[in-house]
Structure 1
Amino acid sequence: MASTLTAGEAFADVLAGLHDTVADLAERVCRSGDPELLHDLRVAVRQARAVVRAGRRVLTPEARDRCRAELGRLADRTSLLRDLDVLLAGFDDLETEDAAALAAVRARLVRRRASARGALVRTLRSERFAALMAGWRRDLAVPGGGPDAVRSARRVAGRRIATAWKRVARAGRAIDDASPAEHFHTLRKRAKELRYLLDRLGGLTDPEARDALIEMLKRLQDVLGAHQDAVAQRALVREAADHAGAAAAGTELDRALAQRQAAARAGFADAWAELDGSRSRRLVAEVTGD
């Protein structure tokens, strides 16, 4: 991405590419149940939402707000299927004393996954999704009319990344041993947003510092992702076990998943200490130009 671009040009270029990526992946997800395609779609949608949010003074306000809301709704529609994909991929690693009850729980999860996939396909083939994509291409894949649209893309990107970093720092530093799972999930969302901006706007900044910071974020995200996966899976397993009349098996499975959650939580301190250390702060300064 050329350093001479204006912010309006740079954001339009990024959002045009993401539009085409989402359109392609949406069609492929409708044709295939491959979990990797769903993962790629989720990432692209969330990257677009992060860039749209960062473009609050670059993009046209009405189009920005409308698209951001619709992207958030779309991202939410993908969550259940993704959680079920991850749970079922590792389900054979879970054990109970009652093999029949375990099979009944799995069967319930498989049926629920089929239902979740059907709902997502209907969303991706809906008029509402078509309207989102048409509005995105029309309003956001062209230079916007915000006050920062004519400013240096490098400078605007640096400021937006700096803001995202501050949100991560606030969320991470607020976590202690008594923090509920929701606080870890909030930090995870903030860290993802920063990562997405580095992925999509970081080409305007110092590439070596950007790549090093992304690697540090990946390690934190692995810990936070394992924690949130366990939280979501515990809820899914409890519901499936109750529906299958397998309460005892559900309790055993919940206990195993609770141990995974605790292990991820125990690994948080080291991962956060690395990201909040002096090296990461130096990298942020190099990326943002501060």
Structure 2
Amino acid sequence: MVKTLVLMRHGRARAARPGEDDSERPLTKAGRVALERSLPATLALLGDRGSVAVWTSPLLRARQTARLVARAARAPEPVVHGSLASTDPERLMAELQEAEGDCVIAVGHVPLVPAVARGLLGTSPDFKPGAMLALEPGGQPSGALALWFVNGPAVEPWEELDALESALAACSRRIAGRRDDFLAEPSASNLHRLRISLREARSLARFASPWLRGSSSLCDDLSLVQGQTSRLRDMDVLLSLVASGSFREAACGDGTPSRLPQVVSLLADEREREAGRLKGALASKRVSAALSSSLKSLDKPRLTKAAREHGVARDELAQRFDRLAGKADALRALPPSTPDELHTLRKREKELRYVIRRLGDQLAPGQASRAASLREAQDVLGTACDYASAARLSGELARKGRFSEVRGELRRISSDCSQAGERAFSHAFGGAELADVPSPDENL
């Protein structure tokens, strides 16, 4: 019989998937990281007990755990023992009786591991995933001496960190895919999806800044790319408003023939030029470098030392969200008095909604209802912002030579957009009705 026996339950494993063999369930990333961080300190409790051999069940989750144990203990490769996958403690005990050496660490499962502990000690602790019980077996049943027991490491902080990293990596994939979609077909819908993916990534990076290194540079790079798309997005809003016929009556009010079809045609040409400019900008050295750096930083986030060593507690995530939500609530309570302040409020509330969308399971309960209310509020704020941008752009285009023949129509459109924006602003913060105000295409 070995001098020292350490009974261990494997680390936290992934739930079985439909049709998957239970023996092939692996450790979760969080379960693996939790063991890597905790095993050195736990195994140090063994002190100098001679050579260490690691036994393992043949099941994947146990073999993965055993390899981590062997590495931390500087022991030889684990040896597979089928008895550690059985439910018969006598079978394992018989093998242990025949074993020789200083110390065996046996990695198995419940109910076997606690059953062996009860057979040796007369009682057993509750073995959570990753728990370890060290004892000196002795020569008689129930005559073993318990040395120490360490319950399984907390995996929750690593699960939260994994969720955060996974959300950021998913942002990288979405941006890359939607950039490619836009370059292949620079439609309004593809631009919209690209912009959303950039905003989501920036929102999550800003939210995760306490646990990320270089988050400020990442947000700056994403803002640089996003900024390149803004004018084309404004063109799409204006073109949608004019093409929908929202301003036909205003343009014909002086009795002259409507030139709105000509306005639509000229705006479509302008949009095509702007789409070409944006495609060129995305391929430019400066913007492509910023985008490439962003994708890399999102795909493999650089964590702070504290995050690498301790993970992220769920309470920390909730507190971070509450702080950002408090700032947005304070902006809304003022309320904003200029279009720029309105835009800032809308941006902050969008950030909250994107964080809830991608990290809702990690935040406090009830955030789903908040996301719905944020979406409703942003629809109203978005209407005001869209009319403000359409007013600015139509006024700007009215001063360009190639729009000289429709200058009057563009000026009327600019005036109407400005008035509609004021009504939308009043609705958002004063209760005025928006029933008579045309709404831009919500997909923009």
Return the TM-score normalized by structure 1: 0.82
Structure 2 regions of 5+ residues with no counterpart?
1-27, 31-154, 432-444
Partner of 2:191: 38
Match of 1:173 in 2: 333
Structure 1 pair 141/159, CA: closer, same or farther in 2 (3 Å)? farther
| Alignment partner of 1:4 is 2:156 | yes
User: Could you list the per-position Cα deviations for residues 66-107 of structure 1 after superposition, in whole angstroms to 9, with x for gaps in the alignment?
Assistant: 221110011111111111112212213222124454344333
| 1:144 Cα offset (Å) | 3.1
Q: Is 1:219 paired with 2:370?
A: no
Higher relative contact order (CA 8 A, sep 6+): 1
The answer to whether 1:255 aligns with 2:415 is: yes
2:257 counterpart of 1:117: no
Which of 291, 310, 315 in structure 2 is aligned with 1:155? 315
Change beyond 3 A, Cα 1:232–1:197:
same
Contact 1:10-1:153 within 8 A present in 2 as well = no
User: Which residue in 2 is equivalent to 1:198?
Assistant: 356
- The 8 Å contact of residues 394 and 411 in structure 2, kept in 1 or not, is answered as no
Greater share of helix: 1
* Structure 1 residues 141 and 33, CA gap change in structure 2 (3 angstroms): closer
Q: Structure 1 runs of 4+ off > 6 angstroms?
A: none
| Cα drift, residue 202 of structure 1 | 1.9
Pairing of 1:119-134 with structure 2 (within 5 A):
119-134=277-292
Kindly provide the amino acid, as one letter, of the partner of residue 236 in structure 1.
L
Correspondent of 1:65 among 216, 219, 239: 216
Q: In the alignment, residue 84 of structure 1 is paired with which amino acid?
A: M
Asked if the contact 1:22–1:44 (Cα under 8 Å) also holds between the matched residues in 2, the reply is: yes
Q: Partners in 2 of 1:156 and 1:144 — Cα distance?
A: 18
Are residue 108 (structure 1) and residue 266 (structure 2) matched?
yes
Measure, in 1, the Cα distance between the counterparts of 2:409 and 2:292.
48
Length-normalised TM-score, structure 2: 0.55
Given that 1:22 and 1:45 are in contact with CA atoms closer than 8 Å, whether structure 2 keeps it comes out as yes
Per mean C-alpha deviation after superposition, the further-off stretch among 21-30 and 238-247 is 238-247
Aligned mate of 2:229, from 78, 92, 104:
78
Deviation per residue, 1:145-182 (Å, 9 max, x gap): 31552333522321221122112112111116xx2222
- Partner residue in 1 for 2:240: 89
Alignment size in residue pairs: 266
Moved more, 146-155 or 69-78: 146-155
Q: What corresponds to 2:434 in structure 1?
A: none
Contact 2:168 2:301 in 1 (8 A): no
2 CA distance for matches of 1:195 and 1:253? 32
Q: Deviations over 1:6-31 (max 9, x none)?
A: 35433221111110010000000011
Q: Partner letter of residue 41 of structure 1?
A: L
Counterparts of 1:125 and 1:165, CA distance in 2:
36
How high is the sequence identity, in percent, across the aligned residues?
26
Greater Rg by CA: 2
- Equivalent residues in 2 for 1:41-52 (5 A)? 41-52=194-205
